[in-house]
A = this chain, B = another copy of it.
Amino acid sequence: MFSSATSAGKTAKSERTRAHVRDLALRSFRERGYDATTIRRIATEAGISVGTTNYHFASKADLVQELYLDVQQQHRSAAEPLLAESSDLIDRLRIVYTTGLDQLGPYHAHAAEFVSAALAPRSGINPLAAESSFARDVTEGLFADAVAGARNAPPGPVTAELPRVLFLAHLLLAMYWVYDESPDQERTRRLLDRGLALLKLALPLARLPLLRRPLAELLATAGEIRP
């Protein structure tokens, strides 16, 4: 029993260290960006060895995955209570995209560094890479909820492809936002508004038998992108 209490104490301490390293890394990514954040620097700040830091996070990519998870989980927390208030598909998509952009806000100054690193060959932080599946599943799940809870979602075959394609559209919107130097990135919000305005008008057309199948086929192929 003494031994197991010690073991529990060790585990709790290890978990505190891990959480501390993680918090320092997330702050460093926000304040210094991707390029200037290193395992060595985080270890120094945490007052622990590089070896101990690597025990918790084998590479910088692992810390970026923590960042992704943090952003995606906060995204979900911000979106869910708002989603409870509307059953209109366009309103629900607006909620998910808007709260998604809100979470990215603090990272804007260094965002292009992350894009560049994420799109490098065999990058473990590409949002479409296998390594990013935990974080990606959170956001794709959020889009799936947005569609499933809407009274006016488009018909079957199109709906099946939507969560993945809406997630890809979220990545494109984020990319537009990265290079948006307008005050508070208001241009990105305008792009979103105008995209949703057009989607609202075009939504009834997705029900036309003539358009339904080619639309579903296009979305399915778009959704096949892999890094």
What is A's interface to B at a CB cutoff of 8 Å? Answer: 110, 112-113, 115-117, 119-121, 123, 128, 172, 176, 179-181, 187, 190-191, 194-195, 197-198, 201-202, 205, 210-211, 214-215, 217-218, 221-222, 224-227
Contacts and interface: CB of A to CB of B under 8 A. Distances in A.
A119 B114 CA distance: 9
Nearest to A172: B172
Copy number in the complex reads 2
B121 A112 contact: yes
Nearest to A126: B179
A118 B168 CA distance: 20
A33 B181 CA distance: 31
A66 to B, nearest CB: 22
A94 B150 CA distance: 36
B120 A116 contact: yes
A123 to B, nearest CB: 8
Given A201-B214, A205-B205, A121 B116 contact: yes
